[in-house]
Chain A
Amino acid sequence: MSHHDHGHDAHEHKLPFWQKYIFSVDHKVIGIQYGITALLFLFFGFCLMMLMRWQLAFPGQPLPWPWLANLFSEKQMMSGIMLPEFYNQLGAMHGTIMIFLGVVPLAVGAFGNYVVPLQVGAPDMAFPKLNAASYWAYFWGGVIMLLSFFIPEGGAAQSGWTSYPPLSNIAQDGQTWWLFGMVLLITSSLLGSINIIVTIVQLRADGLTFFRLPFFVWAQLVTSFLLLLAFPPLEAAGILQLMDRLLDTSFFMPTGLVVSGEVSKLAGGGNPLLWQHLFWFLAHPEVYVLILPAMGIVAEIMAVNTRKPIYGYKTMIYSIIFLGFMSFIVWAHHMFLTGMSTKMSSFFQITTMIISIPSVVILTALILTLWGGSIRYNTPMLFAIAFLPMFAIGGLTGLPLGLTAADIHLHDTYYVIGHFHYVVAPGTIFALFAGIYHWFPKVTGRKMSEVLGKIHFFFSFIFINGVFMPMFSLGLAGVSRRLWDQTQYAHAVPTQPLNVVISYSAWLLALAQIPFILNFFGSIFFGKKVNNNPWDATTLEWAAPSPPGHGNFETAPSVYRGPYEYSVPGQTQDFSPQHLQGGK
C-alpha cells in the first residue's frame, strides 16, 4: 500500500462546494455531517443540563450571571429564577436530545456510516441517496425539536423523554412538535438501518466472511436490526398520540378523566398503559442501540492497543446476537409498578436477569483481552479501558432494578438516573470519545494531540464520577427523579448537599471538555501528519488512504484472514492486515 501522495485526488472530478460537502451522497461526508451535528447536539443537551443543575443545587435562587439570565423570557425565568415549567422543558429536551439527537446519531449515523463501509471493504453504502435522505431527516427532526423552545404558548415538550400520557396528551403544543420531530427521527433511523444491514450483508469484500468481520461491524449489524424492528411501534404510538392530540381520539385517555377539576369531554375508554407498552417496546431495545456500538468501538481499540486478538471473538458475536433477541422481551421491567400481575412481572424479571448474562460475557471477554497484552496507553485506549468499569457499574446497578422487590423502592428515583447514566455517559460516551481519537487519523490524515487527550481523559473521568456516583445515594435515600426542588420533601432535605457536589462536578466536567474542543479543531489543521495505518492495525479501513478518496480503496480489497491477527508467532511484524496475502 502506498504511503505517499494520495493519487486519487487528481482523478476526482471537481464538484461544486455544496455538492461535495453539503448535499453529498458519499458515506464519509455524510458520516462527518452526522458526527458534527451530533456533537453539537450533545453540547447543547449538556448546556440544558448545566442550567438545570443550578436550580437543583441552589433551588429558587437566581442565576449568578445577569447576562445569562437575560437570555431567557419571563415565561422561562423570573428575574433569574428558573420556573418549574421551564425546568420540565429542559428535562424533557435534555433526555430527548442526548438520546435521539446526540448519542444514537453519533454512534450509528457517524461511526456506522464512516467506518462500516471501510471495514467491509465497500466503495460506499449500498444506497447512497437514501443515506443522504437519512441525514436530512435527522437534521430537520433536530431543527423542529430546537424550534419548539420558541413556541409562545408553553414552549418545548414538558412530559419527559418518555412522554407518558395522559399528561402528554393534555400538554401544550410543544408536545405536538416533539411528536413530529420524532416521526422524522424515526424515518431517519429506518433509512439508516436498512442501509447498514444491506451494506454489511451484500457489500463485503471478497473473502470477508461473516466470521472475519470486525466486531464493530457485528455490533452495527445487530444495532441496525434493533432500530429497524423496535422503532416502528414507537412510530405507531406517536401516530396514536398525534391522533389523540389533534383529532380528539381517546386511545390513551381513560373514561372519566378529571383535568383541572373538570371531567374530560372526550369519549374515553383508552388506556394510558398502552403508551407505556409501545414506548418501552422501542425504548428498551433503544438502550442496547446506545450500548452495542460502544462495545464494538471498545473491542476494536482493545485489539489494536493490546496487540492481541480480542478474547473469545465468536463468543462475543453469539452474545451480541442473543442480546439483540432478548432485548425485545424485557421491556416491561420499566413498568413493574404499573400494577401488572405477578405472573407478568415474574416473566419480565426472569428475562431481565437472563439478558444480563450476555452483557457480562462481553464485558468479561473485553477484560480478558487485556490479560497478557502489551498495552499501549494512548488516549483512545484510556477511554476504552475506562469504559469497562463504568459499564460494569451501570450494568450491575441494573440488576436490583430488574428484581421486582428492590424496584419498588428504587423505581423513579435518582438511583435509576444513576444507573442509566453510568451506562450511557461514562460508558457509551467515553467509548465514542475513544472512537473519535482512534479514527480521527483516518478521517483527517492527522493525529490528535496525546497531551491534550490525556488531560481531557483524566479530568473527564474524575468529574463524571462526581456527577453520577452521588445519584445512587440520592436514590437510595428515596429522592424522586424529575423534581424541581427536592427540599420541598422532608425526607429529601438531608441529602440536598449532594446536589451541590453533583452540580460543581457537572460544571467542571464542562471545563474538562475544553481540551477536547481545542484538540479536535486544532488537530484538523496542525495535528501530526500520519500514514495510512498509524496504529499498525489489521482491519480494512486502515488499508485505505487517509483520508479515503471517493470510492475509498485504490483497488477493491480482498480478505485473507480474520480481523485480529496480532502478534502471530513466526511473522515479521506483530500485525497481519486482513487484506495482505502470505504468511500463515
Chain B
Amino acid sequence: MSAEIRFIAKPHPVTGVTNSKLGMWCFLSSEIMLFGALFSTFILLRAGSPAWPHGYDLLNVPLATVNTLILIASSITMVMGWAELAGKNLKAFKKYLAATIVLGCAFLALKGFEYGMKFEHHIYPSKNNFYGIYFTITGLHVLHLVCGVVVNLYFLFPGSKMWEKDPEQFLGRIEAAGLYWHFVDLVWLFVFPTLYLL
C-alpha cells in the first residue's frame, strides 16, 4: 500500500515547483532572516557608537574586490553547469561544477589569508565591536560557503550517480544547490559594501 511521495522529480501542476525547490526557498527565506538580524545588529551598533570606524580604513578593500569578482564568476559557472545538465551534457556540467568548486576554494583561501593578516596584527573579534561584527558576519558567510563547496563536491562525485537512474530528479537537486550557491553569493554582495566600503 505504501504510496510514493509525489512531486519529488516533477513539479506540482498548480504550484509549479518540486518539493525540494519549495523547501529550498523556505530555507533561504529563513536564511534571509538570519543574516537580516545580523545586519540589523550592525546598524544598531553603528548608530549607537560615537566613533565607528570606516571599513575601508581597516580592511583590505582590493583583496575583497578580487574576492567579489571570484564569487560572481563562481555563480556564473554554477548556472552554466546547470544549463549544460539541462542540455543532457553530464561531462560539461561536471567541468563547470568543478570550476565552481575551485573558485569557491579560491575565495576561502583569500579570506583565510585576510583573517591571517588580522591575527598577525593581534586583531581579534574582541578588539572592538567593528571587528566583532566583521568576524561574526564574514565567519558565518565562510561557513555557508564551506557547506556549499561540500555539497557541490558531493554532486560532482558520488551524488552524480543519480544521473543514470533519475536524470530529472538530479537536475532538480542541482537547481536547488544552485539556488543556495547564488544566495551565498548574494549575501557577500551585501557584506562587501556594508563592511568594507562604508
Interface residues of A (CB under 8 A from B): 7-8, 11-12, 122-124, 126-128, 130, 190, 193-195, 197-198, 201-203, 228-233, 235-237, 239-240, 243, 247-251, 266-267, 269-271, 274, 277-278, 281, 549-556
Contact = CB atoms under 8 A, between A and B. Distances in A.
Given A126-B19, A551-B3, A271 B31 contact: no
B5 to A, nearest CB: 6
A236 B2 contact: no
A228 B28 CA distance: 10
A247 B26 contact: no
B26 A198 contact: yes
Query: Nearest 4 A-B pairs (CB), nearest first?
Result: A551-B2, A236-B37, A232-B34, A249-B132
B136 interface: yes
B6 to A, nearest CB: 6
Contacts of A12: 2
A551 B3 CA distance: 5
B198 interface: no
B37 A278 contact: yes
14 contacts: A7-B1, A190-B30, A194-B26, A194-B30, A202-B6, A202-B22, A203-B5, A236-B38, A239-B136, A243-B136, A250-B132, A251-B132, A267-B127, A269-B49
Given A235-B37, A237-B37, 10 more contacts: A123-B4, A127-B23, A201-B15, A232-B36, A240-B38, A240-B41, A247-B124, A251-B129, A267-B128, A274-B41
B28 to A, nearest CB: 10
Contact of B23 (A8, A128, A198): A198
A278 B6 CA distance: 38
A269 B136 contact: no
A250 B126 contact: yes
A554 to B, nearest CB: 5
Contact of A233 (B27, B34, B135): B34
A555 B127 CA distance: 64
A277 B125 CA distance: 22
Contacts of A202: 6-7, 12, 15, 17, 19, 22
A96 to B, nearest CB: 20
A249 B134 CA distance: 11
Given A235-B34, A249-B132, A271-B44, A228 B26 contact: yes
A270 B129 contact: yes
Given A236-B37, A240-B136, A271-B45, A123 B126 contact: no
Interface in B138-196: 140
A7 B2 CA distance: 12
Contact of A229 (B3, B30, B44): B30
A55 B148 CA distance: 52
Interface of B: 1-7, 12, 15, 17, 19-20, 22-23, 26-27, 29-31, 33-34, 36-38, 41, 44-45, 48-49, 124-129, 132-133, 135-136, 140
A266 to B, nearest CB: 7
A194 B27 contact: yes
A38 B96 CA distance: 47
Contacts of B31: 232
Contacts of A266: 126
Contacts of B5: 122-124, 126, 128, 203
Contacts of A550: 1-2
A37 B13 CA distance: 38
Contacts of B37: 232-233, 235-237, 278, 281
B34 A553 contact: no
B129 A248 contact: no
Nearest to B140: A239
A249 B3 contact: no
B125 A247 contact: yes
A236 B41 CA distance: 9
B19 A198 contact: yes
Contacts of B30: 190, 194, 228-229, 231-232
B140 to A, nearest CB: 7
Contacts of A7: 1
A229 B33 contact: yes
Given A232-B31, A239-B136, A274-B45, A198 B22 contact: yes
A243 to B, nearest CB: 6
A281 B132 CA distance: 22
A329 to B, nearest CB: 14
A344 to B, nearest CB: 14
Interface centre among A12, A231, A251 (most CB of B within 10 A): A251
Interface centre among B2, B19, B31, B48 (most CB of A within 10 A): B2
